[in-house]
């Protein structure tokens, strides 16, 4: 890859991740998140699917499907990084509980930073990077922007409301730039996955981590199951790419596997949102006590 192209892609990736997490923090009300965090069953299922069963599904697929090892590496990394920054929009469309969405995002952001540096060396042979090498970019582009956004919201909701649209627009720009640069840089490699079973492996992965968390979410309300399902249907691809970018002489096919996950993830999450939204429409919950539109 052209050195200038590589630098531009890395910069756009960092700004994409940091911008999305800052945007999230500017809207993530800690009081709303606490409501979800008080539900022990929801917390347990989020952590179980996010950092035990999700990675296990990805790892299991790589053992069953005869993938070339770089593609397997990319899939495992995606299995370790639940929750894309655009989850609130998907969950809202599906009728998910936004308080539990905030809790889910907080849990998975912290969990990714704590879990991934230790899980990567155990699950992926040949990825020779230290735990700190993996943790450092996650701290900088995941937890730090999220914390800054939450601090601004806590200190001045008015300022947060003014800043958030600007942050969103800048993030959208760098999202588009990252997508364009990724296609330009890896276009030929993306076309080369056709006969590799990489697409099939990803389809199976997203089907499992979208459907099972919902259907096995025993004890959760429908709108809470939606958060769990759509949250697991999305992946933090920037976090998945971080170890690959940090590793020297990385096989480009591992990066391509993660990049390939973007359209498949968007399709999977959109279909899940439509399915859950349709169920929510057919089975509306009771109106909230403060709903001013109630009729006598």
Give the mean pLDDT of the chain. Answer: 86
Phi, psi of 82 (to 5 degrees): -70, 155
- Check residue 180 and give its pLDDT: 85
- State the pTM of this model: 0.85
Q: What is the dihedral of CA 233, 238, 243, 246, to 10 degrees?
A: 170
Q: How far apart are CA 76 and CA 70, in angstroms?
A: 10
- Check residue 189 and give its pLDDT: 76
String of DSSP letters for 266-292: HHHHHHHHHHHHHHHHHSPPPPPTT-T
CA distances from 159 to 71, 102, 168, 283, 291 (A): 44, 20, 14, 38, 28
Provide the residue ranges of all domains of the chain, joining segments of one domain with +.
Answer: 3-281
- Picking from 226, 192, 255, 234, the residue whose alpha carbon sits closest to that of residue 82 is 234
Per-residue pLDDT of 155-210, as tens digits, reads: 999 999 999 999 999 988 988 888 888 878 777 777 778 767 999 999 999 999 99
Q: Tell me what the mean pLDDT of segment 265-294 comes to.
A: 64
Would the CA dihedral through 191, 68, 268, 44 be positive or negative? negative
Q: Tell me what the mean pLDDT of segment 276-289 comes to.
A: 56
Look up the CATH architecture of domain 3-281: Up-down Bundle (1.20)
Q: What's the Rg (C-alpha) of the chain?
A: 19
Per-residue pLDDT of 100-124, as tens digits, reads: 998 999 999 999 999 998 899 888 8
Q: Tell me what the mean pLDDT of segment 29-37 comes to.
A: 84
Q: How far apart are CA 51 and CA 56, in angstroms?
A: 8
């Amino acid at each position: 890859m052209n050195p200038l192209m590589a630098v531009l892609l890395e910069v756009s990736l960092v700004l994409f991740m940091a911008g999305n997490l800052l945007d999230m923090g500017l809207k993530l009300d800690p009081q709303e998140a606490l409501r979800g965090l008080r539900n022990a069953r929801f917390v347990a299922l989020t952590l179980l699917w996010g950092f035990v069963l999700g990675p296990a599904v990805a790892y299991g697929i790589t053992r069953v499907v005869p993938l070339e090892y770089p593609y397997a590496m990319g899939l495992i990394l995606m299995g370790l990084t639940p929750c894309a920054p655009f989850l609130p929009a998907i969950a809202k469309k599906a009728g998910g509980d936004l308080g539990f969405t905030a809790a889910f995002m907080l849990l998975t952001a912290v969990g990714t930073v704590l879990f991934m540096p230790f899980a990567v060396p155990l699950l992926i042979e040949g990825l020779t990077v230290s735990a700190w090498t993996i943790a450092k970019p996650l701290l900088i582009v995941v937890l730090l922007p999220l914390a800054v956004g939450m601090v601004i919201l806590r200190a001045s909701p008015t300022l947060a409301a003014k800043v958030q649209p600007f942050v969103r627009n800048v993030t959208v720009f760098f999202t588009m730039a990252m997508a364009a640069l990724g296609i330009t840089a890896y276009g030929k490699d993306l076309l080369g996955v056709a006969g590799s079973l990489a697409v099939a492996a990803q389809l199976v992965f997203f089907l499992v981590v979208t459907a099972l968390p919902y259907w096995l979410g025993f004890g959760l309300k429908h709108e809470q199951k939606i958060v769990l399902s759509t949250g697991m249907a999305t992946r933090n691809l920037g976090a998945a790419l971080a170890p690959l970018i940090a590793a020297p002489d990385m096989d480009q096919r591992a990066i391509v596997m993660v990049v390939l996950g973007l359209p498949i993830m968007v399709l999977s999450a959109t279909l899940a949102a439509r399915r859950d939204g349709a169920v929510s429409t057919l089975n509306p919950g009771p109106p909230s006590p403060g709903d001013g539109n109630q009729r006598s």
